[in-house]
């Protein structure tokens, strides 16, 4: 079952079981996917609409946005809003594959550097592209980038 179908099925299940919080988060996910579909209209990538990798990227961004919002709400003393953001993260993470541990990220970075034959910081783009191809949705590339840079620099 592809990602789009999984989200649709979960949305219908949430409607049937009257889970209002889960339903609202799933609707946000669905809207983000449709926005990406609309953005792709008229491009060469349009054939099947948004791919599963694109959806994983969307979900990853949604998690990151909510983490930042929750942090801001906690700092501002708005704990009820922070809790809402954290509950949305849990719903979104149901659709994401298991995140790599720090050790696994280090191993993946080392393997990508070796596979790309990277020698210097100039090869960082090749390494990051290889990582994104293989680990989209499973790795925080904001943390992987500095690791690649440290090894190549």
Do residues 8 and 50 touch, judged by C-beta distance below 8 A? no
Q: What are phi and psi of 96, to 5 degrees?
A: -90, 145
In a shared domain, residues 46 and 85: yes
pLDDT digits (tens, 9 = 90+) for 67-123: 999 999 999 999 999 999 999 999 999 998 888 888 888 898 889 888 888 888 898
Q: Considering its fold, how many domains does the chain have in total?
A: 2
pLDDT digits (tens, 9 = 90+) for 31-82: 999 999 888 887 655 556 788 888 888 998 999 899 999 999 999 999 999 9
Q: Which domain holds residue 120?
A: 102-152
Distance CA 67, CA 41 (A): 30
Nearest by Cα to 108 from 74, 79, 145: 145
Nearest by Cα to 66 from 80, 81, 83, 86: 86
Nearest by Cα to 127 from 100, 153, 152: 152
Q: What pLDDT, on a 0 to 100 scale, did the predictor assign at position 118?
A: 83
CA distances from 60 to 10, 16, 24, 129, 153 (A): 18, 27, 18, 17, 28
153 CB neighbour count, 10 Å cutoff: 9
Q: What pLDDT, on a 0 to 100 scale, did the predictor assign at position 45?
A: 54
Query: Any idea what the CATH number is for the domain that residue 116 is in?
Result: 1.10.10.410
- The most distant pair of C-alpha atoms in the chain lies apart, rounded to whole Å, by 55
In a shared domain, residues 53 and 8: yes
In a shared domain, residues 89 and 111: no
Residue 77 CA, chain-centre distance (Å), reads 27
In a shared domain, residues 80 and 8: yes
In a shared domain, residues 87 and 131: no
Tokens of 95: 């659709």
Split at pLDDT 50, 70, 90, the class of 152 is confident
Tokens of 116: 């790309």
pTM of the model: 0.74
Name 46's Cβ contacts closer than 8 Å, sequence gap at least 6.
40
Q: What pLDDT, on a 0 to 100 scale, did the predictor assign at position 12?
A: 95
């Amino acid at each position: 079952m592809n990602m789009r179908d999984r989200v649709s099925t979960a949305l219908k299940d949430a409607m049937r079981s009257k889970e209002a919080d889960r339903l609202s988060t799933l609707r946000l996910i669905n809207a983000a996917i449709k926005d990406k579909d609309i953005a792709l209209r008229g491009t060469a990538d349009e054939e099947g609409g948004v791919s599963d990798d694109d959806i994983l990227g969307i979900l990853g961004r949604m998690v990151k946005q909510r983490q930042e919002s929750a942090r801001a709400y906690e700092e501002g003393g708005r704990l009820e809003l922070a809790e809402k953001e954290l509950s949305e993260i849990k719903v979104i993470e149901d659709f994401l594959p298991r995140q790599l541990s720090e050790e696994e990220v280090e191993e993946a970075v080392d393997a990508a550097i070796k596979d790309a034959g990277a020698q210097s910081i100039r090869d960082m783009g090749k390494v990051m592209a290889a990582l994104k191809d293989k680990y989209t949705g499973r790795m925080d590339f904001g943390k992987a980038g500095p690791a690649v840079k440290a090894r190549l620099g």
